[in-house]
């Protein structure tokens, strides 16, 4: 009997060990939801819904002053940190453009580091800084993409490369800066290149082999549904619609939601029409790439208003009805609330000053209505355009508290000086800029804020509170917790904790370089931790704003409340 018990115990140990070495689809679905293991962070956005909310509440307003760093790990990178770490079974997985690193959470010590080899010449076709926003983890593998448009799988235990697949040709203007994702057993990636005349797409791969399963283009070819929104020529082949922020996923609907970028060239004069599915959200089946519905944020996009910002999935009570909603704060200055089952508009309001369109969208009409500013721009005049092409909010993700139905986000209020070249069509050359417009930034009054960081009702965009962004705009992601704390970061290097109810800054810690990344929270041994990456990014706007003021650097910072 004892021998049989030992055999059973041994078998049990083997089974447990096998499970802890591999992530399953059910674990990914549970991540960030009730019943999920708070020791882990397995998906981009801390849940397929990308709410960036955690119910953890050990860190509170009462003890936030005792939040201290417990370890910091250097990443040896001077071109910026924008990634969200992933956490599984006591190991943190972090990436930047140089390498993927596995770190022991308990000690902060490196377990392995694998270089992300890429052709250095590819840096010239990355428009807005050399960045990598993270990895995906699934079935014992870590998936990461490179700037020269490859995706590869690493063994999660050793960092050894298992396979490597070419997604696109970088010499044609393609690159990848986003984190991959796995939904319904399919590995998916987006791409960049909206300034280089690429044809946008989302692609699905077999996570075991790297074999491509499908490719969903985001510009419509002649003869396809929606082709009437493009000229009857080959402009769709260079029409933009890049997909450079990771999509969200609803397992119940089996739909994944991806935002698409600006049109190519920027100047819509040379590609007349609404240009589906540029500057839109598309809902697609992860198994097949089938497009189920779409909604276009900016029809006939000509402003560089990429529509790639995160699509938050939330079950909300709106106007007395329970709705399966999708929340999106677009670069064009509008906050959208859609029904995610069918893509119909529920509400749409400007959340920052907007002059190119009327500030409220009529749901019965379903799309923005342009103003005389837009008409003058399209006619070739030089205009002052609000918001600037960097947006009312750029890619830095907002957070959503489902208990309060509020979003927390940075809001920028810069103005562009913008003019289209309607006299001569831009000449497409692979790997070269393809824009047809000139743009600059209106000089701002230094006494006025860049914008605000605030708490909004996403349906009405009414603000609970707003914090002026005085020295620099905020380009960090946001996290909100059950302890009533909102975490974000500053370009000047401070990691910040804010009272969710009042907007009062409760705590700051200087990390030594700018924070442009996305904080996470999780538990280890029953103790709550918060982690964020620090490191000045190299995008054009950040270089302009920080020259001579903020030094580059790269580190993972992990915090916890000091033990008594």
The pLDDT, as a whole number, for residue 538 is 74
- Share of the chain residues as helix, strand and coil, in percent rounded to the nearest 5: 10, 35, 55
Q: pLDDT tens, 165-192? A: 999 999 999 999 999 999 999 999 999 9
CA pair distance 504, 481, nearest whole angstrom: 15
Contact 143, 152 (CB under 8 A): yes
User: Does the reported pTM lie above 0.85?
Assistant: yes
CA pair distance 364, 358, nearest whole angstrom: 15
Contact 198, 149 (CB under 8 A): no
What end-to-end distance do the CA atoms of the chain give, in Å?
48
CA pair distance 79, 77, nearest whole angstrom: 6
Please report, for residues 264, 381, 469, 551, the alpha-carbon distance to residue 441 in angstroms, rounded to integers and kept in the order given. Answer: 21, 16, 18, 24
Q: What is the mean pLDDT of residues 366-392?
A: 97
Per-residue pLDDT band for 331 (boundaries 50, 70, 90) equals: very high
Per-residue pLDDT band for 540 (boundaries 50, 70, 90) equals: low
Q: pLDDT tens, 31-53? A: 999 889 999 999 999 999 999 99
CA pair distance 327, 234, nearest whole angstrom: 33
∠ CA 356-362-363, rounded to 5° = 130
Per-residue pLDDT band for 547 (boundaries 50, 70, 90) equals: confident
The helix or strand, by DSSP H or E, that contains position 18, with its residue range, turns out to be: helix 2-20
The pLDDT, as a whole number, for residue 546 is 86
CA pair distance 139, 408, nearest whole angstrom: 33
Residue 41's closest CA among 2, 11, 85? 85
> Is residue 8 over pLDDT 60?
no
> Is residue 5 over pLDDT 70?
no
Residue 94 CA to its chain's centroid (Å): 16
Q: Which residues are identified as catalytic? A: 304
Per-residue pLDDT band for 13 (boundaries 50, 70, 90) equals: very low
The pLDDT, as a whole number, for residue 368 is 98
Please report, for residues 57, 109, 115, 475, 564, the alpha-carbon distance to residue 463 in angstroms, rounded to integers and kept in the order given. Answer: 24, 42, 44, 20, 38
Which residue, chain included where needed, has tokens 């840096």? 123
Identify which has the larger pLDDT, 379 or 16. 379
Q: What is the mean pLDDT of residues 525-533?
A: 98
The pLDDT, as a whole number, for residue 22 is 67
| 441-444 long-range contacts, CB within 8 A, separation 24+ | 441/388, 441/414, 441/415, 441/416, 441/417, 442/384, 442/414, 442/415, 442/416, 442/417, 444/414, 444/415
Average pLDDT, the chain: 94
Query: Helix or strand or coil: residue 84?
Result: strand
> Is residue 9 over pLDDT 50?
no
Q: What is the mean pLDDT of residues 427-440?
A: 94
Rg, Å, the chain Cα set: 23
Q: Which of 22-26, 384-388, 551-555 has the lowest mean pLDDT?
A: 22-26
- Extended strands (E) in 89-185: 91-95, 99-104, 110-115, 136-138, 141-145, 150-155, 161-166, 181-183
Report the relative pairing of strands 437-441 and 416-420 from DSSP bridges.
antiparallel
Residue 100's closest CA among 140, 46, 136, 149? 136
Q: What is the mean pLDDT of residues 243-249?
A: 98
Residue 481's closest CA among 410, 529, 524? 529
Contact 436, 269 (CB under 8 A): yes
CA pair distance 358, 114, nearest whole angstrom: 50
Identify which has the larger pLDDT, 444 or 279. 279
Please report, for residues 38, 105, 522, 528, 530, the alpha-carbon distance to residue 525 in angstroms, rounded to integers and kept in the order given. Answer: 11, 11, 10, 9, 14
Q: Which of 47-51, 214-218, 373-377, 470-474 has the lowest mean pLDDT?
A: 470-474
Per-residue pLDDT band for 23 (boundaries 50, 70, 90) equals: confident
Bridge partners, 313 (sequence order): 326
Residue 561's closest CA among 485, 479, 476, 453? 485
Q: pLDDT tens, 492-525? A: 999 999 999 999 999 999 999 999 999 999 999 9
The pLDDT, as a whole number, for residue 3 is 35
CA pair distance 32, 514, nearest whole angstrom: 27
> Is residue 11 over pLDDT 50?
no
CA 421, 427, 430, 432 dihedral sign is negative
Which residue, chain included where needed, has tokens 């984190």? 179
Identify which has the larger pLDDT, 332 or 542. 332
Bridge partners, 216 (sequence order): 202
Per-residue pLDDT band for 541 (boundaries 50, 70, 90) equals: low
Contact 535, 516 (CB under 8 A): yes
- Provide the edge-to-edge strand list for the sheet that holds 383-385: 383-385, 416-420, 437-441
The pLDDT, as a whole number, for residue 127 is 86
Contact 158, 141 (CB under 8 A): no
The pLDDT, as a whole number, for residue 537 is 87
**Cβ atoms within 10 A of the Cβ of 489, count?**
28
């Amino acid at each position: 009997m004892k021998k049989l018990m030992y055999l059973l115990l041994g078998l049990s140990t083997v089974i447990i060990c096998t499970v802890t070495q591999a992530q399953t689809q059910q674990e990914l679905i549970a991540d960030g939801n009730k019943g999920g293991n708070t020791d882990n962070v397995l998906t981009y956005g801390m849940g397929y819904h990308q709410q960036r909310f955690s119910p953890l509440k050990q860190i509170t307003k009462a003890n936030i002053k005792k939040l201290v760093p417990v370890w910091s790990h250097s990443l040896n990178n001077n071109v910026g940190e924008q990634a969200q770490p992933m956490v599984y079974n006591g190991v943190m997985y972090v990436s930047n453009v140089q390498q993927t690193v596995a770190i022991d959470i308990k000690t902060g010590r490196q377990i392995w580091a694998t270089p992300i080899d890429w052709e250095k010449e590819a840096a010239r076709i990355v428009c807005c800084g050399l960045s990598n926003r993270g990895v995906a983890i699934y079935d014992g593998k870590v998936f990461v993409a490179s700037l020269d448009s490859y995706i590869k799988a690493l063994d999660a235990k050793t960092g050894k490369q298992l396979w490597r697949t070419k997604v696109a040709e970088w010499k044609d203007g393609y690159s990848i800066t986003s984190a991959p994702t796995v939904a319904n057993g399919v590995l998916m990636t987006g791409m960049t290149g909206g300034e280089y005349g690429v044809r946008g797409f989302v692609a699905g791969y077999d996570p075991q082999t790297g074999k491509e399963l499908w490719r969903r283009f985001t510009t419509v070819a002649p003869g396809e549904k929606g082709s009437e929104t493009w000229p009857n020529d080959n402009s769709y082949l260079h029409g933009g619609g890049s997909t450079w922020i990771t999509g969200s996923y609803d397992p119940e609907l089996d739909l994944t939601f991806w935002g698409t970028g600006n049109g190519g060239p920027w100047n819509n004069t040379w590609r007349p029409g609404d240009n589906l599915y540029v500057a839109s959200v598309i809902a697609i089946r992860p198994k097949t790439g089938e497009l189920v519905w779409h909604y276009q944020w900016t029809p006939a996009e000509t402003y560089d208003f990429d529509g790639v910002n995160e699509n938050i999935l939330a079950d909300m009570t709106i106007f007395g009805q329970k709705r399966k909603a999708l929340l999106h704060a677009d670069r064009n200055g509008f906050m959208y609330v859609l029904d995610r089952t069918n893509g119909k508009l529920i509400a749409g309001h400007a959340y920052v000053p907007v002059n190119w369109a009327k500030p409220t969208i009529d749901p019965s009409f379903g799309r923005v209505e342009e103003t005389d500013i837009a008409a003058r721009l399209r006619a070739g005049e030089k205009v002052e355009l609000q918001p600037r092409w960097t947006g009312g909010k750029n890619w830095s993700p907002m957070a959503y508290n489902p208990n309060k139905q509020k979003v927390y986000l940075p809001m920028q209020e810069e103005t562009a000086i913008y003019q289209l070249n309607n006299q001569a069509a831009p000449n497409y050359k692979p790997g070269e800029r393809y824009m047809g417009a000139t743009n600059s930034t209106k000089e701002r009054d230094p006494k006025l804020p860049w914008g605000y960081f605030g708490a909004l009702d996403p349906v009405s965009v009414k603000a609970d509170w707003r914090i002026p962004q005085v020295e620099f705009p905020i380009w960090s992601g946001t996290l909100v917790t059950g302890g009533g704390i909102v975490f974000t970061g500053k370009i000047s290097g401070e990691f910040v904790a804010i009272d969710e109810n009042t907007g009062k800054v409760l705590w700051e810690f200087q990390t030594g370089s700018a924070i442009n990344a996305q904080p996470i929270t999780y538990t280890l041994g029953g103790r709550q931790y918060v982690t964020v990456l620090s490191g000045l990014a190299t995008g054009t706007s950040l270089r302009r704003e920080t020259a001579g003021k903020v030094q580059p650097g790269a580190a993972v910072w992990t915090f916890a409340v000091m033990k008594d």
